[in-house]
Amino acid sequence: MKIYFYSSLLFFFSIQLSCAQDNPPLIETPTELNYRYETVVDGIDIPWGLAFISKDDFLVTEKSGTLYRVVKGVKTAVDGLPEVYVRGQGGLLDVALHPEYSSNKIIYLTLSANTEGDSEGGNTSLYCAKLEEHALQEVKLLYKATPNTKKGQHWGSRIVFDNEGHLYFGVGDRGNREENPQDLSRDGGKIYRLNLDGSIPQDNPFVGKENAKEAIFSYGHRNPQGMVTHPKTGEIWEHEHGPMGGDEINIIKAGINYGWPTITYGINYSGTPITDKTSLPDMAQPFYYWVPSIGPSGMAFSTSGVYSDWTDNLFAGSLKFEYLERLVIEKNKVVKREKVLDKIGRVRDVVEGPDGYLYVSVEGKGILKIIPTK
């Protein structure tokens, strides 16, 4: 009898091992909601990125190539944008304000572009410009990833700043995982670090390394879709889409290889394996990984205390399951995951506004503000 018990235990254990397992903690759906939402602005198909100038004044990118300035709920298209190459997942991507925006009016944009005028597709670019009311002036290209390609996937890209005068942005692997992410002489599959004027910091990890693109800060990324500066530590937090399974949260450090596609917790969309390795000694493990994939997009910490029990929680949109995810982190570990705004639609971005409220951009809906009811 005892042998039977142990052998069946072994049997069930081996079955469990052989199936792709959901990575804990499992997502929870709260039974009681202590928030509601209101629509701040609507009529935007794919509101990709969001940046606040003040509580009632913010910028929204629409992926197909329009930058809106929304003042007190009224949206106006901004003139003078560089030409956007719209293809696949590419288009007008993120927008961010210079840390000293209030005095210099400088904004940054990432977008898909073909600045070379060749016929071979496009790649991710970073621009800066001065925003004067509803027009961009002094538009300047700061970085252009090469080569252009007609592939539709994985352009990145978010823009964030550290507290030491650097700008970070990501470029996805551009649908070429065999060549780009692990090769420092190629763009794609990288997080880049620049000075605010677009020049390359001389203490970047690969400065002076032969053939390396010196703007690279970290590599081995697949498709960064969320980035935020940690409000307390000042570290750059990033999340990226894995293939099927294996979306990751990473804390970005200089010169580190995050492993794509040599190690991953995901598999091909066809169900075939990409690699049999989830770890290697010289490659960083993610801070957290999502299996199954949620298609994370946008990333923010709640710091304000506006929501009674959400302080210091991390938020990420889910494109795939159409909710905003709240992640509770304790002792450097994700200990709880919960759905906020369940079934709201594809969430592209989440930002903590200057008033401390969380603002969420949702495809087909626009920008929503989450308001506590308790």
Partner 1 sequence: MKLVIVSYFLFIAASTHMLYQEKSKAESIEAGAEIYQDFCVQCHLNTGAGVSGVFPPLKNSDYLLNNIDKSIAGLKFGLRGKIVVNEETYDGVMANQGLDTEEIADVMNYILNQWGNAFEGQITPSQVNEVQKSLLD
- Regarding 320 and contact with partner 1 (CB under 8 A), the answer is yes
Q: Give the CA distances from residue 6 to residues 10, 11, 204, in Å, rounded to whole numbers and listed in that order.
A: 6, 8, 56
Q: How far is the CB of 364 from partner 1 (least distance, A)?
A: 5
Tell me the site size for partner 1, rule CB under 8 A: 24
* String of contacts with partner 1 for each residue 80-119, x by CB under 8 A: -----xxxx-xx----------------------------
Burial 276-305 (b: 16+ CB within 10 A, else e): eeeeeeebbebbbbbbbbbbbbbbbbbebe
Single-letter amino acid code for the residue at 175: G
- Regarding 208 and contact with partner 1 (CB under 8 A), the answer is no
Residue 103: φ, ψ to 5°: -100, -30
What is the distance between the alpha carbons of residues 328 and 252, in angstroms, rounded to a whole number? Answer: 20
- Regarding 45 and contact with partner 1 (CB under 8 A), the answer is yes
What is the distance between the alpha carbons of residues 278 and 270, in angstroms, rounded to a whole number? Answer: 19
Binding-site member from 75, 239, 339, 346 for partner 1 (CB under 8 A): 346
Q: Binding segment for partner 1 among 124-132, 253-261, 263-271, 330-338 (CB under 8 A)? A: 263-271
Question: Any alpha helices (H) in 26-133, and if so which ranges?
Answer: 101-104
Catalytic-residue membership of 230: no
Tokens of 289: 């990984």
- Judged by CB, which is closer to partner 1: 24, or 271? 271
Q: How far is the CB of 267 from partner 1 (least distance, A)?
A: 11
Single-letter amino acid code for the residue at 193: R
Among 98, 154, 221, 241, the active-site one is 154
Q: Binding segment for partner 1 among 28-36, 183-191, 297-305, 318-326 (CB under 8 A)? A: 318-326
- Judged by CB, which is closer to partner 1: 70, or 362? 362
- Judged by CB, which is closer to partner 1: 89, or 182? 89
Binding-site member from 322, 338, 349, 352 for partner 1 (CB under 8 A): 322
Please report the sign of the dihedral spanned by the C-alpha atoms of residue 231, residue 233, residue 234, residue 240. Answer: negative
Q: How far is the CB of 203 from partner 1 (least distance, A)?
A: 37
- Regarding 271 and contact with partner 1 (CB under 8 A), the answer is yes
Using CB under 8 A, which residues numbered 137 to 176 contact partner 1?
151-153, 175
What is the distance between the alpha carbons of residues 280 and 269, in angstroms, rounded to a whole number? Answer: 23
Q: How far is the CB of 246 from partner 1 (least distance, A)?
A: 14
Q: Where does residue 270 rank: exposed (0-12), middle (13-18), buried (19+ CB within 10 A)?
A: exposed
Compute the residue count for the chain. Answer: 374
Single-letter amino acid code for the residue at 154: H
- Regarding 270 and contact with partner 1 (CB under 8 A), the answer is yes
Largest interatomic CA distance in the chain: 81
- Judged by CB, which is closer to partner 1: 221, or 348? 348
Active site residues: 154
Residues that bind partner 1 (CB under 8 A): 45-46, 63-64, 85-88, 90-91, 151-153, 175, 269-271, 320-322, 345-346, 363-364
